[in-house]
Structure 1
Amino acid sequence: MATPSISADNPFQVLIAESNDDPAQLQSRYETHRTNRNAQQNAKILAEDFPGWSIDEILRRLDGPAKEEGYLDPRNCLVIWARPSPHIRGLIAFVQSELRDVAPSLWLMPSGNLHTTVLEVAHSLTEDQIEEIVQTLKSSKNVTEADISEYPLKHQTRLLKPMVSFDSSALALSFAPAAGEGASDGHDDQYTYHHLRRDIFDLVRQTGLPVASRYIVPSAHVTIARFINQDGFFVKNAEGGDELDPSQVKLLVEKIGQINDTLESRYWPKADGSYPKEGEWVVGQDKGLVIRRGRLWYGGGQDV
């Protein structure tokens, strides 16, 4: 199996160096990123001038009540995904059900489409452009597709601490890299999820491909829901027009807070160092990573 040679401009190595290659510091950076972002979005969404949800216009045309038959997503991509294990999919199903109780019009990511993006190689291109990139990948003599997809089988990483992250357009279940929790199981967690992202970046580079990734922030998230309309959040005003109902928006934000309290109490590591296995995701544990191409913004596309 090929091994990556860490390039000087690898964007993932920067955070590893800044964190002194310390799993605890890396975990803290991931947690700080998502906590701060949730706080910012919470303030924005509950502000008096919040205009309503940011509708995904392409998804609205692909699915839901306003679906347009024959419409195709113009964006073609090449990505490397990790699929959540069955118990994490079950956890997501619970969260989606809780969200649907207060926001029935939410578009929910189907279970079979759930994924986290380890590395985005190319995005928003034509089919022909993606085909050219795929052929470059397939013809590489330095690194094979199997070198990439099977990499986590020998370089195991764990994600813990599930939490709902959100903004005005979508919701996700996010995780933080493990940092020694459950070390008695043979995990020292010195090699983290961020190290995996770093190494996959360089493996792809070694195939001769440039990497046009938008996601280098410290985040491990699975998108679970998107807004495709404002149904349930707007009411008729005195003039007969539509206006945002702040109480319904607040209800959803409060529900997210309740879900996160439940997740933390049930699935996060305990004060004594133990943790529920139901909250642990061993990345690529059974099948490795998925190299995916095509119109895959919402979990579709085809395996390479």
Structure 2
Amino acid sequence: MSSSMLESADSRNKFEDLSGVSSAAFANPYDALIEACQNDPAKLQDRYSTHRVTRNGQQKEKLLSSGFSGLILDPILQRLTDASIEPGFQDPRYCLVFWARPPAHIRSLVDQVQQKMLSLAPKLWLMPLTNLHLTALEITHSLTEPEIIAIIAELGKLAIESMTDYTYNHRARLIKPMISYDGAALALSFLPAAGESLPPHATNGSDERTQEDDKFTYHHLRRDLFNIARQTVPINSRYVVPSSHITVGRFLTQEDLDSPEKMELFIKKIEEINAWLKEEYWPKEDGKRREDREWIVGQEKGLDFRQGALWYGGGTTVRLGKGF
């Protein structure tokens, strides 16, 4: 099959906003949820939670149903990982994104999760730890290299610098990791923080994080990046759903999960891991803050402005922002 005829797994996988909010009437789609939540971080967190819990429930029902016809395999990734299928194949889809790179302690957590998943799906394709990313803003996707280069020039140096360095002074906190899944892939998802384990106000002379700081959420970060970029270029993002997730694995074969019994065990494993994550990594009521159990976007590295064939974590960096 010609590479131009191949249909990626993502194109066959529906990304629907399950938070209950429509962004159709807003020039900036991220404003819709902020307005619906009265700019309240706790309500924003609830909507993000509703989205991922509802989606996992839908996917579980689908994967365990008697009418389930098989996993959604990615023919492009299959060709990139097995050169014998189509020698010389190259991914033709050039994209342009702003990525948040997870710090070392989050990469370590992903590694633990990936190894747990391999016990029941040994042929699962794992996202290399060095390629892990959270898409803060997708400018566009599935274009040619010359088209992407033209958009970079149009966006301009000042906007690029402002956006990649934005997390240095605008620090959104992510908490409550959980595995999200469907028939194509697995991701480690997070929720925007809402003051958990933080003091209401800083003590004299302290630079500690407070509940006030959590009023700028990851959703606000996405909104602000969208606002800066749209001043000079159109935004053609595949989805703006209330999700903050890192893809950690994709399915390349039916073999690991080719029976209802295997699928049931696999989903049970996911639920066991999610119970472990909740116990070990989620904030406790009135508990002490554990900075190694959260992710402040911009830790270690600022945003990574990335272009190229980057669907699976590749591509090249146009500019890497300042970290802290």
Q: Taking structure 1 as the reference length, what is the TM-score of the superposition?
A: 0.90
- 1:119 touches 1:215 (CA, 8 Å); kept in 2? no
Is it true that 1:290 corresponds to 2:304 in the alignment?
A: yes
Aligned to 2:33: 15
Distance 1:275 1:46 in 2: 38
Distance 2:262 2:120 in 1: 8
Aligned to 1:144: 159
3-state SS in 2 of match to 1:247: helix
Which structure has more relative contact order (CA 8 Å, sep 6+)? It is: 1
Distance 1:68 1:283 in 2: 39
Distance 1:233 1:49 in 2: 15
- State how 1:172-251 maps to structure 2 within 5 Å: 172-184=187-199, 185-188=208-211, 189-206=214-231, 208-234=232-258, 245-251=259-265
Aligned to 1:157: 172
CA positional deviation for 1:277: 2.5
The percent of aligned pairs where both chains have the same amino acid is 49
1:50 partner letter: F
Aligned to 2:277: 263
CA positional deviation for 1:19: 0.3
Distance 1:155 1:205 in 2: 19
- 2:159 touches 2:229 (CA, 8 Å); kept in 1? no
- State how 1:92-131 maps to structure 2 within 5 Å: 92-131=110-149
Distance 1:72 1:254 in 2: 36
The count of aligned residue pairs is 284
Distance 1:261 1:163 in 2: 9
* Stretch of structure 1 that moved more, 157-166 or 212-221: 212-221
- State how 1:16-35 maps to structure 2 within 5 Å: 16-35=34-53
1:205 partner letter: R
Distance 1:275 1:45 in 2: 37
Deviations 1:73-95 (A, max 9, x none): 11110001000010000000000
Gaps of 5+ in 2: 1-25, 200-207, 319-324
* Stretch of structure 1 that moved more, 177-186 or 192-201: 177-186
CA positional deviation for 1:231: 2.0
1:93 partner letter: D
Match of 1:59 among 50, 59, 77: 77
Distance 2:193 2:143 in 1: 35
Aligned to 1:133: 151
Gaps of 5+ in 1: 1-7, 235-244
3-state SS in 2 of match to 1:102: coil
Structure 1 runs of 4+ with >6 Å offset? none
Label 1:81 to 1:228 Cα distance change in 2 as closer, same or farther (>3 A): same
Deviations 1:212-239 (A, max 9, x none): 11221110000000011112333xxxxx
Deviations 1:8-45 (A, max 9, x none): 61110110010000000000000110000000000000
Q: Taking structure 2 as the reference length, what is the TM-score of the superposition?
A: 0.85
RMSD: 1.5
Match of 1:166 among 144, 167, 181: 181
- 2:114 touches 2:249 (CA, 8 Å); kept in 1? yes
CA positional deviation for 1:183: 1.9
Distance 2:30 2:159 in 1: 22
Distance 2:117 2:87 in 1: 28
